[in-house]
Amino acid sequence: MNSRLKEVLEKLGIRELNELQRMSYSEITGGKNCLIIAPTGSGKTEAAVIPLIEKIYEENLPGMALLYITPLRALNRDMLRRIEQIARELGISIAVRHGDTGEGERRRQSLKPPQILITTPETFQLLFLGKNLRKALKNVKFVVLDEVHEFADSERGVQLSVALERLREYSDFQTVALSATVGDRETIAEYFGCEEVIEFYGQKRYEFSVVKAEACGAGELPEADASFSAELMKIKEISENHRSTLIFVNTRQTAEALALHLKKVMDVEVHHGSLSKDVRIENERKFMEGEVRALICTSSLELGIDIGHVDCVIQYNSPREVKRLIQRVGRAGHRLEKVSKGYIIANTFDDLLESIVIVRRAEERKVEKTDVHESSLDTLANQISAIALEYGTIEEVKLYRIITRAYPFRNLDYEFFIQFLNFLAGMGLVFYGDGVVRARRRTRRYFYDNISMIPDERHYPVKEITTGRIIGVLDESFLQTFSGELFAMKGEVWRVISVDEFVRVLPAGVDAEVPSWTGEEIPVPYEVAQDVGRVRRIIGDLLMGEGEESAVKYLMENYRINEDGARYVVGIIKEHVEKGFKLPTDSRLVIECSDDATILNACFGHKVNEGLGRVLALLISNRKGRNIGVEIDPYRIRLIPATCEDVLNALEYLRNLNRDELVKLLELSLADTRLFHWKIINVARKTGYLSKDVEMNRVNVKKLVQRLYETPIFREAMREILVEKIDFEKIYDILANFDDFEVVTYHTITPVGSASSKQSFDVLFTSKPIRAVIETFRKRIENENCHFHCLNCGYTITLKVRMIDSLQCPRCKSRMVAVVSGRRDLSKIDRGELYRIANLVMVHGMKAVYALNTYGIGVETATRILLNFYPDEESFLKALLEAEKNYIKSRAFWD
């Protein structure tokens, strides 16, 4: 090593390189493209940068010798602090450039490019478009890619991989990629062009504990139930026993709700992506300086943001994936020689089993494989436009060569590429003809609107339709990833009825006794769900053979779970087997039904159950001639209305399909779903077909889908769902080997089948009883404005429904009175309809007034409802509420 560099490192406290840094040094100085996989806090950044800084110093390389590309802007602050000390001591210039960089600083960098530039993938795209910066790209000798697992499973990674190939047109550079958690290192290495993999774990130790808090009295939180209060007090206890604690949760709603309750018993702040930058930085400061000892966060703090010393991590509820657990717990003891200590606080049957399985897999380093976005067409549109702007005019052959060097496009067919160029030219995105592609005026506007492959966030107010009140706000990204109908907000569970300018909802208690599951942002992998099934099977066998204590002992000796947690899990399985039911396991499916709902217990994970559930619902729906609702979790598919026989017959049909038939059926099951509609709008924005500012509620989605059917946009929307939401290959494999599974049916709901409805914080609820909902609905109708119009003398008055004390005209005493919703323009209603309304009012009295003032109910629907018999007012109002709900559901799809 260079003697001057050695002096600088010693001055900064680095007396010698650690083992990882020594291993990396020889490979990197030898000029190899390397992927470095090592635990958080092992010195990966220094391992990559020290040998590269040495080369820059010794060869006095000009500005922009080293590009350091990182997934989050916040990381740049840390990289700058950790690298600039070394660089400045050696007289090497260094700077950060991202979306928030000021105009003056940008100009300085453009006129005199720094030797080291730290940037994001999105800002990297812009370096190709500036005249001076583009010249500086010819000097790039090294590219460091930080946290590559954050890129590899998203379209940001696809965009970055093409940009790196574009950079190769200017310079021949060396790549060093860094990651803490990679499940398939060969794929990731090939993705980023690394021929050498340096994998190092050293003496890094993790301590995991899965804890079910012992239920106690309400204590300090009288408004919370016993088990939740116990969880809060356990979090407080763990936090007080450590100097600084990060509390990870899976959703922003949980972060806010948990903070609301925890702040009553301890000092804590929140950190997540929906908070403003100022709030996030202030909360980071409070945590670093010890003003608060605990910080509740989502994935916003999974990566290497420097927030000072953390000696403990709490994961609230299952982390869902091995890589998330390792990444999150790795934030504690953020050094190689320190122990990373993590507690998982879990309360439900599923979460406890899932957590112990994930901990075991983490200890065995069984990290999930990365789902790479192959041939992403919206990214292809983005990069074709970017290259057209960069070159002005480029030959199609050269353009194809650059793009297909990128790993995600290595299999892109040339003939399809030409068709796609024609498609983009037809939209006016680029000019294409005579074998060349050129930028147009619209190209620049489109590209600058879509630099990022992360979709812009939109926010939708959530409106309860029984009261009309706004209960909160949902991000569009939540709606895009949300599968199912139920979600939690503000301590209650809501069922989505429709999405337009509002997300219209009802309390789940209206048509579900207990909410079963929520749409999770983090899918549970197939392998984890299968391991959960395996543990269930072992516990079941122990209970049948050696008894309860042996089962509890087995869990505590073989998994990181406390006694309360082990006894709780064993208790539910014991109740299940003692009632004579067979357990759903890794090799057994249990179908159970009650009333009009059927649950298929299948330990297949989110992505399999999502796809399988949708095709089952489609088949049953076609056979029964009515809509079938589907809700999934990693271990169950719930179909409403359906019978056990319906599900068995549908499974029998599916297992006989070939690959192409199954793909077609799956696409058919998705094409008319909210999930696909949101996805196709998103893709249409990213490809420039729709303006990025267009709002979902302003688009006739049904017509859009029909118009785009079989176009690249339609194909891309379907491809993204099949990568992000559904594991087609695994579904096909399960159906092809269906004889390997035992299938049993029960005409009742089993303890394990209903275990997911046990209350967890993500679905905390105080669901209103049906009577309370109906009473609220009645009050809302009574407060509606209506037009009271006499057809005999023309007398008209607008008043509240509750203010009508007589259905007789006060002027001429006629009973031919039409009472019309105040939402309608009376002058635009023809006389024939007014007479029909007046007849309904004359015959049915106030019932007709209530019906005609219910949202979405016209004369036809009101007549049909009023002709039925209702034993009491509650039954009648329930019928009106159901009619309103059906109208709202179908309204978005009308022409």
Q: Is residue 681 part of a domain?
A: no
Question: ω into residue 64 within 30 of 0, thus cis?
Answer: yes
Q: How far is it, in rounded angstroms, from Cα 675 to Cα 720?
A: 11
Q: Are residues 211 and 67 in the same domain?
A: no
Is pLDDT at 475 greater than 80 in this prediction? no
Under DSSP, the state recorded for 508 is G
Residue 330: pLDDT band (50, 70, 90) is confident
Q: State pLDDT tens for residues 530-559.
A: 999 999 999 999 999 999 999 999 999 999
Q: Are residues 224 and 148 in the same domain?
A: no
pLDDT number for residue 76 = 43
Q: Are residues 211 and 144 in the same domain?
A: no
Q: Any idea what the CATH number is for the domain that residue 395 is in?
A: 1.10.10
pLDDT number for residue 336 = 59
Maximum mean pLDDT: which of 8-22, 222-236, 371-385, 490-504: 371-385
Provide the residue range defining the domain that includes 436: 377-449
Q: Is residue 652 part of a domain?
A: no
Q: State pLDDT tens for residues 770-804.
A: 566 688 788 888 988 999 999 999 999 999 999 99
Residue 13: pLDDT band (50, 70, 90) is confident
Residue 203, both tokens: 């003496």
Q: Are residues 416 and 292 in the same domain?
A: no
Residue 196: pLDDT band (50, 70, 90) is very high
Is pLDDT at 55 greater than 70 in this prediction? yes
Q: Are residues 167 and 85 in the same domain?
A: yes
Share of the chain above pLDDT 70, in %: 87
DSSP letters, 122-182, are HHHHHHTTSHHHHHHGGG--EEEE-STHHHHTSHHHHHHHHHHHHHHTT---EEEEEES--
Q: Is residue 138 part of a domain?
A: yes
Residue 286, both tokens: 């409070």
To the nearest whole number, what is the mean pLDDT of the chain?
85
Q: Are residues 315 and 445 in the same domain?
A: no
Q: Is residue 789 part of a domain?
A: yes
Domain count, the chain: 4
Least confident of 126-140, 579-593, 745-759: 745-759
Q: Are residues 193 and 219 in the same domain?
A: no
Q: Are residues 218 and 173 in the same domain?
A: no
Q: Is residue 525 part of a domain?
A: no
> Is the CB of residue 493 less than 8 Å from the CB of residue 486?
yes
Q: How far is it, in rounded angstroms, from Cα 275 to Cα 666?
A: 37
- Residue carrying structure tokens 């050094």: 335
pLDDT number for residue 476 = 67
pLDDT number for residue 855 = 82
Give the domain-ending residue among 199, 228, 249: 199
Give the domain-ending residue among 304, 329, 347: 347
Q: Is residue 466 part of a domain?
A: no
Q: How many CB atoms lie within 10 A of CB 825?
A: 9
Q: Any idea what the CATH number is for the domain that residue 133 is in?
A: 3.40.50.300
Region label for 113, one of left (φ > 0), alpha (ψ between -120 and 50) or beta (otherwise): beta
Pinpoint the alpha helices (H) of 725-795.
728-736, 770-782
Region label for 151, one of left (φ > 0), alpha (ψ between -120 and 50) or beta (otherwise): alpha
Q: State pLDDT tens for residues 208-244.
A: 999 998 865 445 554 556 778 888 999 999 999 988 8
Q: Are residues 305 and 241 in the same domain?
A: yes
Q: pTM of this prediction?
A: 0.77
Q: Are residues 78 and 225 in the same domain?
A: no
**494 contacts: CB under 8 Å, gap ≥ 6:** 462, 464, 471, 486, 487, 488, 505, 506, 507, 508
Q: Find the mean pLDDT for residues 124-152.
A: 90
Q: Is residue 554 part of a domain?
A: no
Q: State pLDDT tens for residues 567-610.
A: 999 999 999 999 999 999 999 999 999 877 899 999 999 999 99
Share of the chain above pLDDT 90, in %: 49
Maximum mean pLDDT: which of 228-242, 420-434, 875-889: 420-434
Q: Are residues 69 and 184 in the same domain?
A: yes
Q: Are residues 221 and 195 in the same domain?
A: no
Q: How far is it, in rounded angstroms, from Cα 222 to Cα 589?
A: 41
Q: Is residue 83 part of a domain?
A: yes
More confident position, 230 or 165:
165
Q: How far is it, in rounded angstroms, from Cα 352 to Cα 211?
A: 8
